[in-house]
């Protein structure tokens, strides 16, 4: 009888231990530094989290997407109900313009991977600007016949919806005849000017582009590809195509207190999708449930998917409270070798506290 009691106690202890899990829960997963001055140096934000599980939580790594970001974190185990921190430090030196960086958090939580984002806009150091503008010599890296360009495009940067941004490309006539310039394929949300429209031999000019996000239907990252027309030629030629890159984000700074309280709250289940074993060359579909735990409708602005193996089918939006929607992810293993794979998809939504939630998809390719 005594042995039976001991065995029962051991069994109960084992079951209890197996059922204990750590659960990391962040107060917020994104932070906007706003406008910061380059000359003021590094900026820091502390993300606070709580262990809402029943076992000690250990953060094993915090990996930044860029060397400009330095993370540090609570190294000791965080007991259930206790708090810990992830500190993100951004160095703006030599990085004028908008930025949006990600930190990947790895822990023994029920969700092993979490993602934090920091963003903002670096106002250039006037002294550095003056020094960089002193040299009169310009470098032309791109050639389109006799036309030389300083670049084949460029970034508008991260721009808040409703705001604008500009981009200039220097041009030069390196030939012996006049060059008549034009642009084709300019979308409605970009205004382009050419000065001068006719370049004489040896003359320099400029292609200027102004982005108006109010007229842009897309969110997140996207590229516009107008063509440079030289003396009536160049339409649809790959050599004459420009790449104008932009990332449009939501402006939450103007929300009222009531709007913030009642804002949409995104809840994705699961954030880590294990698709299991897939035979080489085969396909498999998995689904993720998107819930709205806020009061206002949840809008899915864009899906950032840079993985050729994955195709994402977005649900119809808006998503009302209590009416979850399915996001379908199709996995195609064509051309993949045997082994484990892990990819990340990022969504852009109108949740002020978590505007860029991520979904991790993993699978194993077998024979």
Judgement on whether residues 121 and 151 belong to the same structural domain of the protein:
no
| Of 246, 242, 224, the residue nearest 169 (C-alpha) | 242
Q: Looking at the domain assignment, is residue 12 inside a domain? A: no
Q: Which of 83, 103, 125 is the last residue of a domain?
A: 125
Is 1 contained in some domain?
A: no
Please check whether residues 223 and 268 belong to one and the same domain: no
- Whole-angstrom Cα distance, residue 346 to residue 40? 31
Do 32 and 110 belong together in one domain? yes
| Average pLDDT over all residues of the chain | 88
Q: What is the pLDDT of residues 171-217, one digit of tens each?
A: 999 999 999 999 999 999 999 999 999 999 999 999 999 999 999 98
The reply to whether 150 falls in a domain is: yes
Span 271-305, pLDDT tens digits: 999 999 999 999 999 999 999 999 999 999 988 88
User: Cβ(47)–Cβ(30) under 8 Å?
Assistant: no
* Cα 305 from chain centroid (whole Å): 10
Distance CA 272, CA 110 (A): 10
Domain boundary among 231, 249, 267: 249
- In this structure, is residue 14 part of a structural domain? no
Q: Which of 244, 251, 252 lies closest to 228 in space, CA to CA?
A: 244
The predicted structure's pLDDT at residue 219: 85
The CATH number for 358's domain is 2.60.40.10
The 10s digit of each residue's pLDDT in 314-323 is 988 899 999 9
State what percent of residues in the chain have pLDDT above 90.
57
146 and 114 in a common domain: no
Residues 146 and 244 grouped into a single domain: yes
Total number of domains in the chain: 3
Q: Whole domain around residue 318: which residue ranges?
A: 257-366
- C-alpha span between 347 and 289 (Å, rounded): 13
Tell me: do 116 and 151 sit in the same domain: no
In a domain, 263, yes or no: yes
Contact by Cβ (8 Å): 38, 95: yes
Residues 285 and 316 in one domain: yes
Task: Please name the helix (run of DSSP H) or strand (run of DSSP E) that holds residue 72, with its range, or none.
Answer: strand 69-73
- Final residue belonging to a domain, choices 197, 222, 249: 249
Quick one: 165 and 64 in the same domain?
A: no
Is 307 contained in some domain? yes
Q: In residues, how long is the chain?
A: 367
How many degrees, rounded to 5, is the angle at CA 292 between CA 28 and CA 348? Answer: 60
- Say if residue 194 is in the same domain as residue 264: no
Q: Give a yes or no: residue 317 inside a domain.
A: yes
> Is the residue at 46 inside a domain?
yes
Lowest average pLDDT, out of 7-16, 219-228, 307-316, goes to: 7-16
Q: What is the pTM of this model?
A: 0.57
- Distance CA(220)–CA(249), nearest Å, equals 6
What pLDDT is stored for residue 19 in this prediction? 58
- Calpha distance 331→347 (Å, rounded): 18
**Residue 6, burial from CB neighbour count under 10 angstroms (0-12, 13-18, 19+):** exposed
Residues 234 and 277 in one domain: no
Predicted pLDDT of residue 10: 46
**pLDDT reading at 161 higher than 70:** yes
pLDDT score at 26: 92
Q: Identify whether residues 92 and 43 lie together within a single domain.
A: yes
Same domain, 30 and 110: yes
């Amino acid at each position: 009888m005594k042995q039976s009691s001991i065995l029962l106690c051991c069994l109960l202890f084992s079951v209890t231990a197996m059922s204990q899990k750590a659960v990391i829960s962040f107060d917020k997963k994104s932070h906007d530094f706003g406008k910061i001055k380059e000359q003021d140096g590094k900026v820091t934000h502390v993300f606070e989290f709580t262990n809402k599980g029943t076992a000690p939580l250990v953060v094993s790594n915090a990996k930044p997407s860029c060397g400009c970001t330095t993370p540090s974190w609570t190294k000791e185990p965080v007991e259930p109900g206790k708090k810990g921190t992830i500190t993100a430090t951004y160095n703006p030196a030599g990085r004028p313009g908008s930025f949006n960086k990600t930190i990947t958090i790895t822990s023994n939580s029920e969700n092993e991977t979490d993602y934090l984002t920091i963003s903002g806009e670096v106002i250039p150091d006037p002294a550095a600007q003056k020094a960089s503008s002193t040299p009169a010599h310009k470098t032309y890296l791109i050639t389109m016949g006799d036309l030389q360009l300083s670049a084949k495009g460029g970034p508008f940067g991260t721009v808040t919806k409703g705001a604008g941004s500009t981009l200039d490309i220097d041009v030069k006539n390196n030939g012996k005849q006049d060059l008549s310039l034009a642009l084709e394929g300019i979308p409605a949300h970009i205004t382009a000017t050419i000065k001068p429209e006719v370049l004489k031999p040896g003359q320099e000019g400029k292609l200027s582009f102004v982005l108006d996000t109010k007229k842009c239907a897309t969110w997140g990252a996207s590229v516009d590809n107008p063509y440079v027309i030289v003396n009536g030629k160049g339409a649809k030629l790959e050599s004459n195509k420009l790449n104008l890159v932009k990332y449009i984000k939501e402006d939450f700074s103007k929300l009222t207190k009531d709007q913030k309280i009642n804002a949409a709250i995104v809840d994705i289940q699961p954030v880590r999708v294990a698709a299991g074993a897939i035979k080489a060359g085969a396909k498999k579909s998995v689904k993720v449930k998107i819930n709205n735990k806020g009061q206002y409708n949840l809008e899915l602005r864009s899906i950032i998917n840079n993985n050729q193996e994955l195709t994402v089918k977005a649900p119809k939006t808006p998503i009302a409270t209590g009416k979850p929607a399915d996001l379908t992810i199709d996995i195609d293993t064509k051309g993949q070798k045997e082994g484990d794979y892990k990819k990340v998809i990022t969504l852009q939504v109108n949740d002020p506290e978590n505007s860029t939630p991520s979904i991790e998809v993993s699978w194993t390719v077998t024979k």
